[in-house]
Amino acid sequence: MSYAGPDFEPPQPRRPRRRPLTLGVAALVPAALVGWLVYTAVADAGGGSAGAAPATNSSALGSAAASPADDGKQPAVSPAQTPTAATKSATGPLKGKVVLIDPGHNPGNFRHTTEINRKVNIGTNRKECDTTGTSTNSGYTEARFTLDVARRLRTILQRQGATVKFTQDGDRPWGPCVDERARIGNEAHADAAISIHADGSAQGDRGYHVILPASVHKGAADTRPIAAPSRELGERIAGSFVRVTGSAPSNYVGNGTGLVVRSDLGGLNLSTVPKVFIECGNMRDSKDAALLTSGAWRQKAAQGISEGIVSFLRG
């Protein structure tokens, strides 16, 4: 979102006589079969020791990291997976919690300029439905970035037991508009909502920042009930994001805090649930762009965001 990522040959075993080998294999097959059946039964029952708690540390949650084949631009989850598919997990510390993930913009917005340029009510005034978002100088779009991070984040949160809702999953030609994005989270009664973005500032502007809703009471906007919990959510996400990714807070907004308060975003103004935006970096800066286009770094970004959300929801 803009304002105006020594091989060696092992020794060969001596060949035993045929009869002992045959007898040995014959004796081992039944035992191996029994062992396999026992292992399968345990795995089907949930695996591990009874009552074992799900891992919540960074290394455990980060097991969904990009494969070596990831060229830094491929999504971690198939685009065919829709917001309503596989959105619940039976157990985990976040069981019963609902998280709304809002991947900023839409890869198809640029084909629908008429639709996204129409004005919608953002509570305090009227503003464009949506924008195309920004991109790196090499053409990697913000919309692709946000979807990839969102899908990685969904996987992590579902493993923690959360029910995850998306505003869009690349499954619609454009949008949704900013007012609908807020409404989706409200209607889901989300316990926490996060809108994922990357900025389009000038070269040399670097770092992440989390956008918090201002206390607004005007027109259809009333953020007073969510301003304080949204700040807590944003502070926890900012703290975990810097720790996991190693990125620094923005050097061009937020006075080095990594936090910015805004009253001009419909996605925040119209929200009735705790919600923040995160600008994960500046796509127009070459150093930040090298991070944003890295699949391994995007996994860290998702991990950092998730740990902030988990911390907020668990209190």
- 128 part of the active site: no
Structure tokens that stand for 176 in this block: 């949704």
19 SS3 class:
helix
Question: What is the per-residue DSSP string for 22-90?
Answer: HHHHHHHHHHHHHHHHHHHHHHHTTSSSTTPPPP-SHHHHGGGPPPTT--SSS-SS-TT--TTSS---S
Angstrom CA distances, 118 to 115, 130, 149, 175, 218, stand at 6, 8, 28, 11, 22
For residues 109 and 130, is the Cβ–Cβ distance under 8 A?
yes
Indicate which residue of 9, 115, 187, 279 is catalytic: 279
Look at residues 194, 90, 190 and name the one whose alpha carbon lies nearest to residue 152: 194
Q: What are phi and psi of 108, to 5 degrees?
A: -95, 0
Q: For residue 278, give the nearest of 157, 193, 169 by alpha carbon.
A: 193
- Among 125, 120, 167, 114, smallest CA distance to 143 is for 167
Distance CA 182, CA 73 (A): 28
d(CA 233, CA 198): 19
Question: Residue 101 in 3-state DSSP?
Answer: strand
Q: Cα separation of 79 and 151, whole Å?
A: 9
Q: What is the rounded CA–CA span in Å between residue 175 and residue 49?
A: 45
Q: Are 217 and 292 in contact (CB under 8 A)?
A: no
Active site residues: 279
